[in-house]
Amino acid sequence: MTRPSGDSAIFILTGAGISAESGVETFRDKGGIWSKVRLEDVATPEGFARDPDKVHAFYNARRAGLSSALPNPAHRALARLERDFPGRLTLVTQNIDDLHERAGSNDVVHMHGELSRSLCGHCGAKADASAALSTATACHACGREGGMRPDVVWFGEMPYRMDEIYERLVEADLFVSIGTSGAVYPAAGFVAEARSAGIRTLELNLEPSEGTFLFDEARHGPATALVPAFVEAVLAGVPAAGRPR
Ligand code: NAD
């Protein structure tokens, strides 16, 4: 058995499925968030302009719910990988929760922003937002009210740090997609990007995602079982995704 080398690089993308067993609702699963509210109403700039109170209520409820959610063994396994993997690990999440950080991951790229941060629509200043936001919340930087929003990326907006993400992706030897339906671009396109760069690809998801056929290997089951087993194998030097191409 060969130990992982300091030259190898793993790129991991996580989605709502990794937080599902922590009690955080996913979006597209049966009974998920999009079966209860319209994404056009709460996750677009137009929805916010139409009814900011409704959008604040939606995110305030999710922020409050997060305080009772705890990181699960899948989050903790990825924190262990960050600590013990001798190569380069990139962890990009579509999740706006902070469960990776609370599990001990120090270097997480939140491509869709963070529920625990606010963004001022007037001056662009960002700040910690542990409490509820409203149209009366004043910006700490410009002092104006009425423009405060959660620092989350809505449909029609550009995800964060995309140049850096693509640079890190094409440098990797292995791309792993965890708990994501593969329905939201640009993240849904990472597997095709990785394939065209000759990078091995592995899916870990409860069920086959929309793009499951694009992966070299797919393992299906709960993240709390699949991710710790994957991390254990990587740290033991077992090749992670079946057929190298
Ligand atoms: P999604 O709801 O579209 O898909 C979730 C996927 O996770 C599904 O394929 C499902 O089969 C899988 N899944 C469900 N339970 C699982 C489990 N226990 N173990 C492993 N996999 C499981 O979510 P997505 O793909 O992340 O969608 C992307 C969008 O959803 C992003 O915009 C993201 O910001 C947003 N989102 C974030 C959160 C969060 O912060 N926790 C929650 C919901 C949605």
Nearest CA to ligand 1 atom 9: 181
Q: Give mean pLDDT, residues 106-134.
A: 96
- Residue 97 has φ and ψ, to the nearest 5°, of -80, 175
Of 56, 100, 112, 220, the active-site residue reads 112
- Model pLDDT for residues 77-96, shown as the tens digit of each residue: 999 999 999 999 999 999 99
Q: Give mean pLDDT, residues 26-46.
A: 84
- Give the C-alpha separation, 125 to 133, whole Å: 15
Cβ–ligand 1 contact at 216 (below 6 Å): no
Crossing angle of helices 73-84 and 223-236, rounded to 10°: 20
Q: Could you give the 3-state DSSP secondary structure of residue 212?
A: helix
Residues 6+ apart with CB under 8 A from 239: none
pLDDT category, 244, cuts 50, 70, 90?
A: very low
Cβ–ligand 1 contact at 98 (below 6 Å): no
Q: Residue 239: pLDDT above 90? A: no
pLDDT at 159: 98
The mean pLDDT of the chain is: 93
Nearest atom of ligand 1 to the alpha carbon of 21? 18
Cβ–ligand 1 contact at 32 (below 6 Å): yes
Q: Residue 211: pLDDT above 70? A: yes
Per-residue CA distances from 78 to 72, 201, 221, 237 (Å): 10, 17, 17, 16
Is 122 tagged catalytic?
no
Q: Which of 19, 21, 27, 154 to mutate to test the pocket of ligand 1 (most atoms within 8 A of CB)?
A: 27
Q: Give mean pLDDT, residues 151-155.
A: 97
Q: Give mean pLDDT, residues 101-115.
A: 98
Q: Give mean pLDDT, residues 223-238.
A: 95
pLDDT at 240: 66
Cβ–ligand 1 contact at 72 (below 6 Å): no
Taking domain 1-24+72-112+159-245, whether its CATH number is 3.40.50.1220 is answered by yes
Q: Residue 161: pLDDT above 60? A: yes
- Give the C-alpha separation, 181 to 165, whole Å: 19
Strand partners, 110: 93
Contact between 91 and 9 under an 8 Å Cβ cutoff? The reply is no
Q: Give mean pLDDT, residues 156-160.
A: 97
pLDDT at 130: 86
Question: 183: CA distance to ligand 1 center in Å?
Answer: 10
Cβ–ligand 1 contact at 114 (below 6 Å): no
Cβ–ligand 1 contact at 96 (below 6 Å): yes
pLDDT at 3: 60
- Give the C-alpha separation, 65 to 84, whole Å: 31
Where do the domains of the chain lie?
1-24+72-112+159-245, 27-68+115-152
Question: Fold match between 1-24+72-112+159-245 and 27-68+115-152?
Answer: no
More confident: 238 or 132: 132
Contact between 175 and 169 under an 8 Å Cβ cutoff? The reply is yes
Q: Residue 2: pLDDT above 80? A: no
Q: Residue 47: pLDDT above 60? A: yes
Question: 21: CA distance to ligand 1 center in Å?
Answer: 11
Superfamily of domain 27-68+115-152: SIR2/SIRT2 'Small Domain' (3.30.1600.10)
Cβ–ligand 1 contact at 22 (below 6 Å): no
pLDDT category, 6, cuts 50, 70, 90?
A: confident
Contact between 203 and 177 under an 8 Å Cβ cutoff? The reply is yes
Virtual CA dihedral for 121, 123, 126, 131, nearest 10 degrees?
A: -50
pLDDT at 245: 46
Q: Which of 26, 99, 191, 219 to mutate to test the pocket of ligand 1 (most atoms within 8 A of CB)?
A: 26
The continuous run of DSSP H or E covering 14 comes out as strand 9-14
